[in-house]
Structure 1
Amino acid sequence: MKRSVLPVLTALVMALVASLVVIVPSAAAAPPRSTPRCDPIDPAACLLPFPNDFFTVPDRSTPTGRRVSLAPEMMPRNVGGVPIDPAEWNRNDGFSPGSMLLAAVPGVDLAETGVAPITDIGASLRRDAPVVLLDATTGRRHPYWVELDSRATDPDRQAMIIRPARNLVEGHRYIVALRDLRDAEGREIPAGPAFERMLRWLPPRDPALRARWFQLRPAMIQLWRSGVRPHDLYLAWDFTVASTRSLTERALHLRDEAFADLGRAAPKVTVTGVENPTPEQDPSFARKVVGTIEVPKYLDTPAGGPGSRLAYGPDGRPEADGVYRATFQCNVPRSAFAEGAAKPLLWGHGLFGDHTAVNGLGATANESNSMPCGASWLGMSREDVPFLVTTLGDLSAFPATPDRMQQAYLNMLFLGRAMIHPGGLAALPEFRVDGRPLIDVRAGLGYAGASLGGIQGTALTALAQDFTRSVLVVPATNFSTMLNRASPFAALQPILDQAYPDRLDQQVAFALMQMLWDRGEGNGYVRHVTRDPLPRTPAKRVLLHLAFGDHQVANVATETEARTLGVRVVRPTLAPGRDPAVEPQWGLRAVPRFPYRGSALVVWDSGTPAPPLGNVPPTAGHDPHGDPGNTPAARAQAAHFLATGEVIDTCGRAPCVAIPRG
């Protein structure tokens, strides 16, 4: 890093510019553009760098004072030349709190530059770090790691990806600075022509560059005041994170309106099938009940099936139109007949599953005498697969996925209410034997979910009013981080490659998708689970189980969720040498004692090698994704947590060892 002293004249000029900016209109930018255009400071793709307030406009009606303003001409196009329709994105008042930060820096060598890698997140906060992620609202640095897109096929179009190691604060403005970047020979990479003009003390004469110069002044001045020298810069820009209202208002509206209409009544349930297997047919479950639960339908097609969108009313809020009959399944464990009524357990299935996933919970149900009930995660359930495949060919259809996911939250919340309401499931003959109920409505509702059930369960937990404890098994947040690192997505990658062959466009598309996914996955809700709860919602305690080396849910995404939740970690996590990180589980404090009445992350290790460092899925060793659920010690810890809210040590003060699923 250069350490030359700034001349006094530079300080004086910057101070003068600062004083001039004060008299620029309050947006601190040039007048709003009349036609959509690309940001000139990174010419590799129209939407780079991203996220970027260049692609927003002032809007006093939003909590952030801004609104995303994208046009079809600016968006990635598929091989048919069809741009992504930006209409749904333009509802947002900022960008994702977990957004990947993208730029293109041809020739950059991350090791020579000395950026913080995935194995040393703490290095991102060094004063001389080549990448600066500054919270402009607080003036504090934010942790991250940097990687190059491992899948890129053209070195000149390889995305440089900065990933926040903890979610960004909603509603805050951030500044990104790339400085003193180096190539493989250690030579400094100069700023591009357009950005070099941004570094000059007087605005350019070119109208487009002049407007951008004024727009960047507040960010450049704040960087200078925080110790970032302008002549070190390769690129800098700023962006605004979406507000809590923008991220959660739709799901909250669905919940509040639907439950207000329900009042004190139980949701209407119709049983459509009952199975009473013999112990020889099923040693775990004595009764399996399938039915439908009536939920207000906020989707715009008669059946609310794949491809449906949220229906909006004249007030701009989702509007109910008819009834959605959500299929559910509840399995009564044999323990309920021997020990008494079972505790209600709301269960969230994994990727592309459905309500039948409760069939795999025999050990969990009988060990804890719990009755698991589950419905489908609309949007990413088995029935959605054909539509999702089609979506990868034209991402304009993608908004239907998070829209259906929000309907799924309401379906699950209604199912949970039916499980604990005296007039709900417990009142039905299918959930009684010899006149007594098989479900204990007084025991309180708990939630558990694995994989997608952990991802979606994060958001469901933030929205829930009927439970305060969740066990999230192999969970994470932020699909834009997970997709390239997930083995299941490898089967879908060729479809995306055919439709959007440019790998830089793909990374931009992932960042765009995350902006809408936030409404329908844990990333948009994770800050409101254990603290700062959403309106009319209690704070929760959560227990997270991570499978080290997971082939399907990236460990780094799980740890990012844990940092954002503010949970403790049970140490020791792994045997010495197992984790390549300089400081494993960076930023997470240890659980101080047992039992611990709080939220925690537990790392379970079944011997799979550490995951690769790039954005590619793990392939070495067996997939440990299901191993925590296969381990009696993990199940006992989860059951105790749901029953008491306490985290207990089931690993003997040693790293937790999981049993590989056979």
Structure 2
Amino acid sequence: MKRSMMPALIVLAALLAAVVTAPSVSAAPPRTPPRATPVCDPIDPAACLLPFPNDFFTVPDRSTPTGRRLSLAPEMMPRNVAGVPIDPSEWNRSDGFSPGSMLLASVPGVDLARTGAAPITDIGRSLRRDAPVVLIDATTGKRHPYWVELDSRATDPTRQALIVRPAKNLVEGHRYVVALRDLRDGAGQPIPAGPAFQRMLRWYPPSDPTLRARWLQLRPALVQLWLSGVDLSDLHLAWDFTVASTRNLTGRALHMRDEAFAALGDAAPAVTVTSVQDPTPEQDPAWARKIVGTVEVPQYLTGETGGPGSRLAYGPDGRPEPDGIYRATFQCNIPRSVLAEGAAKPLLWGHGLFGSHTAVNGLGAVANESNSVPCGASWLGMSGEDVPFIVGALGDLSLFGSVPDRMQQAYLNALFLGRSMIHPAGLSALPEFQVGGAPALDASAGLGYAGASLGGIQGTALSALGQDFTRSVLIVPATNFSTMLNRASPFQLLQPILDASYPDKLDQQVGFALMQVLWDRGEGNGYVAHLVRDPLPGTPVKSVLLHQAFGDHQVANIATEVASRTLGLRVVRPTLAPGRDTAVEPQWNLPAVPRFPYRGSALVVWDSGTPAPPLGNQAPTQGHDPHGDTGNTPAARAQAAHFLLTGEVIDVCGGEPCVAIPTS
């Protein structure tokens, strides 16, 4: 058989298969019956769940918006050193994969430079017609941008993941087709496809029943590639997958919000003040009063207290169901500026990683400069009290589902706290919020949100859910923990625990990808598409200002930029001095803010001289960590305060790159 005839024969075979299976090649993924026994995908035998994400691991389900549902079994899942597989039960609630999912395969010996794959420094190359990695939205036929990297932490080249990361989030509910083609080794020689995938490219089905079923399933994906101009004879590997629907990603938290606030009605949330401190100016020059209390919120978590390790409680309808009251601890600090300027504006604050409500103590300059009362609660799931549980979950990822479950309760807690800050019968009506015989909190001034680090990540989701505010400042934020973890200095303290439990580096990357499927329900990655456009039902569109710290050791710059592209932000240019960024086009595909003041959403890059971050999936270690420098910079604080007050982005850097003041 002449090789030039193969594409046409594959298309013919696909059409014949379509008569039997009746899928729509251009829209719906092929329908496959539920598998009787667990089966690994034969086309990438390095690990059972490779390639990932992959519709091979889903089954039809007409009850879901995507028409599919994950169908994972314990036998498919990575195992820890005790031989315990990850329990897939929670994953099987999903109707698709993460919109930020990294695409994983194993290609031992591949040389990405020789292959010409788009690196992190040249994302635009991913859209070239001859790009060796092709990522196509099967719904629109358009190519999607990405970058490619090898797991730089792998020590065994035969167990090194090839990672393709979307440069902006994939479209929720859409099906995507992936192709790896014309891959080269270090000598520039072609790397042939594996035997199983070579069988997939033949025009006639294999005799082996398992391979025959996979051959049929792959026909629509191969047709999509052929119609997009991909020469099938060059393929090393190809597959398709479906992205989770908006309902699947956000529906739990949205249901909790709507049900809880409907029950609350026009009333203010019930609040109990538990302590009040009035430090002298000598003791604390920033704060006139510190107030700690609890706000009552419907509890959607299991257990009496909904503590670490608790899970969402589901009702018979499959939706989260409340059972009791969660008393969320909060802290509000009244700045001394109220003594001269009168009642202050309410500011809902989100703390950083493993912090708590006490994080508002560090906002003295912010609060006094803007005359704001910051109030904050804990980000359940990733607060200080969750650390022991997270350590245990890294030893058995079956436990991980508690983290995003508690994060969703944390959103509701923060929203109830925010409501109490602006309700006339809420916090402002309490005697503890009277200072010097006058009101200290102006409930009518309008609520704004600001958060840093984890508060920026979680603030992305909170802002997508928030009904009581329309402006958010997200400081050193990002989305997608599966991208950030290897690149985050704090995670390096936890990495040895993961190494001891799941020592195989390929298994670790599969684990990160699996975790992201659940994490999307409880972090910004699952909500980022719904802030500045396409808002969630009953939710106003938001304006957001993002502050990035160049070379951040804790929140990867690339993850901030992926979030910014997904949001469709403009960036304040010039971003950096010449030579500071090694990218071919720094902040690729982020257009410049056209004028000042700019009434819209934007990204501002702040530079305090830290070296550029590593190009691979490693945490920065060189130089000063600039993670907290924007908060230490008066110009950055002034820009954030002006944005929250007016919705305008102003130029505070004189038309030059913005320079941050390093923290001591």
Q: What TM-score do you get using the length of structure 1 for normalisation?
A: 0.98
User: Matches of 1:438 and 1:139 in 2, distance apart?
Assistant: 56
Give the residue type in structure 1 aligned to 2:13.
V
Give 1:432 shift: 1.1
Give the residue type in structure 2 aligned to 1:48.
L
- 1:530 is matched with 532
Match among 614, 631, 634 for residue 633 of structure 2 = 631
Match among 276, 280, 283 for residue 282 of structure 2 = 280
Match among 481, 504, 507 for residue 505 of structure 1 = 507
Contact 1:329 1:358 in 2 (8 A): yes
- 1:13 is matched with 9
Give 1:30 shift: 5.1
Give 1:435 shift: 4.5
Match among 549, 552, 558 for residue 551 of structure 2 = 549
Contact 2:7 2:232 in 1 (8 A): no
Q: Deviations over 1:420-460 (max 9, x none)?
A: 00000000000013543211111100000000000000000
User: Matches of 1:11 and 1:493 in 2, distance apart?
Assistant: 46
Give 1:22 shift: 2.8
1:421 aligns with 2:423: yes
SS of aligned partner of 2:284:
coil
SS of aligned partner of 1:345:
strand
Match among 46, 51, 54 for residue 56 of structure 2 = 54
Contact 2:569 2:601 in 1 (8 A): yes
Give 1:29 shift: 5.1
SS of aligned partner of 2:75:
helix
- 1:324 is matched with 326
Q: 1:211 to 1:18 in 2, by over 3 A?
A: closer
Give the residue type in structure 2 aligned to 1:145.
W
Give 1:36 shift: 1.1
- 1:202 is matched with 204
SS of aligned partner of 2:250:
helix
Give 1:40 shift: 0.2
User: Matches of 2:279 and 2:600 in 1, distance apart?
Assistant: 39
Give 1:25 shift: 2.2
Contact 2:31 2:59 in 1 (8 A): no
User: Matches of 2:649 and 2:20 in 1, distance apart?
Assistant: 55
Give 1:544 shift: 0.2
- 2:403 is matched with 401
Match among 1, 14, 18 for residue 22 of structure 1 = 18
Give the residue type in structure 2 aligned to 1:450.
A
Give 1:6 shift: 7.3
User: Matches of 2:8 and 2:326 in 1, distance apart?
Assistant: 65
Give 1:21 shift: 3.2
Q: What TM-score do you get using the length of structure 2 for normalisation?
A: 0.98
User: Matches of 1:63 and 1:26 in 2, distance apart?
Assistant: 19
Give the residue type in structure 2 aligned to 1:419.
M
Q: 1:281 to 1:116 in 2, by over 3 A?
A: same
Match among 444, 449, 453 for residue 447 of structure 1 = 449
Q: Deviations over 1:337-387 (max 9, x none)?
A: 110100000000000000000000000000000000000000000000000
1:615 aligns with 2:617: yes
- 1:470 is matched with 472
SS of aligned partner of 1:398:
helix
Contact 1:30 1:214 in 2 (8 A): no
SS of aligned partner of 1:397:
helix
Give 1:16 shift: 2.0
How large is the RMSD of aligned CA atoms in angstroms? 1.0
Q: How does 1:233-272 map to 2 (within 5 A)?
A: 233-272=235-274
Q: Deviations over 1:502-538 (max 9, x none)?
A: 0000000000000000000000000000000000001
User: Matches of 1:62 and 1:30 in 2, distance apart?
Assistant: 15
User: Matches of 1:52 and 1:209 in 2, distance apart?
Assistant: 16
SS of aligned partner of 1:399:
helix
User: Matches of 2:159 and 2:21 in 1, distance apart?
Assistant: 37
SS of aligned partner of 1:24:
helix
Q: Segments of 4+ in structure 1 off by > 6 A?
A: none
Give the residue type in structure 2 aligned to 1:388.
I
1:568 aligns with 2:564: no
Q: Deviations over 1:466-492 (max 9, x none)?
A: 000000000000000000000000000
Give the residue type in structure 2 aligned to 1:70.
L
User: Matches of 1:30 and 1:66 in 2, distance apart?
Assistant: 10
Q: Deviations over 1:386-429 (max 9, x none)?
A: 00001100010000000000000000000000000000000000
Match among 67, 70, 77 for residue 69 of structure 2 = 67
Contact 1:30 1:212 in 2 (8 A): no
Contact 2:110 2:191 in 1 (8 A): yes
- 1:102 is matched with 104
- 2:391 is matched with 389
Give the residue type in structure 2 aligned to 1:75.
M
Match among 350, 353, 360 for residue 352 of structure 2 = 350
Give the residue type in structure 2 aligned to 1:452.
L
Give 1:14 shift: 3.6
- 1:437 is matched with 439
User: Matches of 1:252 and 1:399 in 2, distance apart?
Assistant: 18
Contact 1:195 1:235 in 2 (8 A): yes
User: Matches of 1:136 and 1:24 in 2, distance apart?
Assistant: 21
Contact 2:478 2:556 in 1 (8 A): yes
| More off after superposition, 450-459 vs 437-446 | 437-446
User: Matches of 1:10 and 1:617 in 2, distance apart?
Assistant: 45
SS of aligned partner of 1:392:
helix
Contact 1:29 1:216 in 2 (8 A): no
- 2:651 is matched with 649
Contact 1:100 1:164 in 2 (8 A): yes
Give the residue type in structure 2 aligned to 1:23.
V
Structure 1 unaligned runs (5+)?
Answer: none
Structure 2 unaligned runs (5+)?
Answer: 24-29
Give 1:19 shift: 2.5
- 1:87 is matched with 89
Give the residue type in structure 2 aligned to 1:17.
A
User: Matches of 2:207 and 2:279 in 1, distance apart?
Assistant: 80
SS of aligned partner of 1:651:
coil
Contact 1:29 1:214 in 2 (8 A): no
Contact 2:6 2:233 in 1 (8 A): no
Give the residue type in structure 1 aligned to 2:50.
L
Contact 1:21 1:218 in 2 (8 A): no
| More off after superposition, 427-436 vs 403-412 | 427-436
User: Matches of 2:8 and 2:401 in 1, distance apart?
Assistant: 49
Contact 2:471 2:544 in 1 (8 A): yes
Q: Deviations over 1:228-247 (max 9, x none)?
A: 11110000000000000000
Match among 576, 592, 596 for residue 594 of structure 1 = 596
User: Matches of 2:398 and 2:330 in 1, distance apart?
Assistant: 31
Match among 518, 534, 549 for residue 520 of structure 2 = 518
SS of aligned partner of 1:661:
coil
User: Matches of 1:193 and 1:356 in 2, distance apart?
Assistant: 58
Count of residue correspondences: 657
Q: How does 1:135-154 map to 2 (within 5 A)?
A: 135-154=137-156
Give the residue type in structure 2 aligned to 1:217.
R
- 1:295 is matched with 297
Q: Percent identity between the aligned chains?
A: 80
Contact 2:288 2:334 in 1 (8 A): yes
